[in-house]
Amino acid sequence: MKLVMFDMDGTLTDSFSLDENCYVLAIQQALNLSDVVTDWESYPHTSASYCLKEIVRATRGRPPTAEESHAVQRRMIGLMDEISQRRGRGTSEIPGAAACVRELLQRDFAVAIASGDWEATAHYKLTTAGIPFHNLPAAFCEVAHARTEIMGCALRSAAAHYGCESFERVVYVGDARWDVRACRELGWPLVGVAQGAHAARLKSFGATEVIADYRQFDEFLAALARATPPAPAG
């Protein structure tokens, strides 16, 4: 059995600008903090929990408590809801993503999700975007800070879920530089999801296959088949 593991933000769901603002605003409002560094690539791990930990540590000299983390998550969902209603549009799917997940399952691919988001905020976004995730094995930032560890955890969940001790092939689908880095580290083939200048950047980081979206399902299947692990960083 072949496994296709998806990142969420920017890969299945399109909420980046909404999401980033809501994340920062939620931290500011729930914890009453003002200085938040939003250059996410400057953080060694880009997960919601890790960045929150560093942000709180920088100002309060200690990591956030579980209650503070939950307060940020609740505020973030509240903000996403408010902004979506005001705009009449919230998190949406990357075009064709929901149908693509269904089609992969129909064709007996194993499908899983590995995201650096919290489970609660991820569920909110996946639900809003209409991605059929309820029966998919998944791992979120509660299990680890490092993306490679979140992916490893999702792989173990997928093995248990599909009753498959080892998969014939595992391909990760992601949209960010840290996805390229994680796949290089794990030696996993990667399909990038990006358009225009962002697609060119992903390729320059080492992604060999990049698709704009999932509307051409056959092209996505071909990219899955051709994908290789990113070459070692030059």
Interface positions with Mg ion (CB under 5 A): 7, 9-10, 175-176
* 64 SS3 class: coil
User: Distance between CA 66 and CA 63 in Å, rounded?
Assistant: 9
Q: Which is nearer to Mg ion, 7 or 209 (CB)?
A: 7
d(CA 171, CA 184): 12
- Nearest approach, Cβ of 115 to Mg ion (angstroms)? 7
- C-alpha torsion 113→69→179→198, nearest 10: 110
**Least distance to Mg ion, CB of residue 139, Å:** 14
Instruction: For Mg ion, give the closer residue by CB, 31 or 101.
Output: 101
Residue 35 φ/ψ, nearest 5 degrees: -85, 105
Would you state the structure tokens that stand for residue 127, as one six-digit string? 């639900």
The least distance separating Mg ion from the CB of residue 102, rounded to whole angstroms, comes to 21
When the beta carbons of 10 and 137 are compared against Mg ion, the nearer one is 10
Minimum CB separation of residue 82 from Mg ion in Å reads 23
List, in sequence order, the alpha helices (H) in the chain: 16-31, 48-60, 66-87, 97-106, 119-129, 147-162, 177-186, 196-205, 217-226
Closest CB to Mg ion among 30 and 111?
111
Q: Closest distance between Mg ion and the C-beta of residue 49, in Å?
A: 15
Q: How many residues does the chain have?
A: 234
Q: Which is nearer to Mg ion, 31 or 52 (by Cβ)? A: 52
